[in-house]
Amino acid sequence: MKGTVIAVWNLKGGTGKTATTINLAYDLSQMGKKVLAVDFDPQTNTTPIFTKANESGHTVRDIMEASCQAARAVYRTKYRNIDIIKGSRSSGEGYRTDILKGALAPLRSRYDAILIDCQPSSSSFTRNALYAADLVLTPAVLDRFCLDNLNSVRDILSELEEERGMEIEWRVFANRVRNLRSQKNIYADIMGKSNYPFLDVCISDRAEVPNSLAMRKPLDRHAKGSVVAGEFRELAQAFRALGEEAAYGEF
């Protein structure tokens, strides 16, 4: 079974990419799936959730600079079924777009899902993650900039599809939802003006999310009975079902 590479990315900061990566990884692992988390954001916020936050060992920077093979940068985490490639605060620039795709290829058979937490940019570092992905997952905040933001995301993915010569599967979900009338109007406007691939799952804007990150725990380890923890489990279930149907494999 081929490992599915999922890049969690949005050009805009503050949309919940790291929380999505962490909770999707943990919830999939609880379904018995073997997961590799790749911390590709120079803020390295995913790394301390799963393992010691230090750069004494190999990091994503070593992989990108060909200092080591990707397999040597894989570390076990405190959670069963989850491994990690640790982040680096120095991401660098000017990389060939296909480096990460080639580096991860030997690891795909070991994992059901490889989740990449991306930085909010279109740098060559980020483009490597998108180029390597079977699927790009975009958490979107429903504000007045949302449609313009998604248009920019779509344009960058289209560029990379041309470069790669094949389609990049894309899914969007509404994150940090407060159930406000303004957000409902924005969502209706987006759906009326576009056919962006929104999932049916929405994630609420709840205090448990930042609190769990501050405690360095996935939501299911911090507030399992909360509404938002249940919503992240629904997101994992949606991706499990999607993987079973999709052409790029199952997980």
Mean pLDDT of the chain: 92
The whole-angstrom distance between residue 103's C-alpha and the CA centroid of its chain comes to: 18
34, part of any domain = yes
87, part of any domain = yes
Give tens-digit pLDDT for 67-115: 889 999 999 999 999 999 999 988 777 899 999 999 999 999 999 999 9
Query: Average pLDDT in the 178-199 region?
Result: 90
**pTM, to two decimals:** 0.93
Give tens-digit pLDDT for 122-180: 999 999 999 999 999 999 999 989 999 999 999 999 999 999 999 999 999 999 999 88
User: Is 82 within 8 Å of 31 (Cβ atoms)?
Assistant: no
Q: Could you tell me the sign of the dihedral formed by the alpha carbons of 17, 19, 25, 31, in that order?
A: negative
Residue 58 — very low, low, confident or very high, per pLDDT cuts 50/70/90? very high
Q: Specify the amino acid at residue 62.
A: D
Query: Average pLDDT in the 234-243 region?
Result: 87
Helix 146-164 vs helix 181-193: crossing angle, to nearest 10: 40
The whole-angstrom distance between residue 245's C-alpha and the CA centroid of its chain comes to: 20
Query: Average pLDDT in the 39-59 region?
Result: 85
250, part of any domain = no
Which runs of E-coded beta strand occur in the chain?
4-8, 35-40, 74-76, 82-85, 113-118, 135-141, 169-177, 198-204
Domain count, the chain: 1
143, part of any domain = yes
| Domain housing 240 | 4-245
129, part of any domain = yes
Predicted confidence at residue 243, as pLDDT, reads 65
Alpha carbons 91 and 123: distance in angstroms, whole number: 10
Considering only residues 91 and 51, tell me which one the structure prediction assigns the higher pLDDT: 51
We report the CATH number of the domain holding residue 29 as: 3.40.50.300
251, part of any domain = no
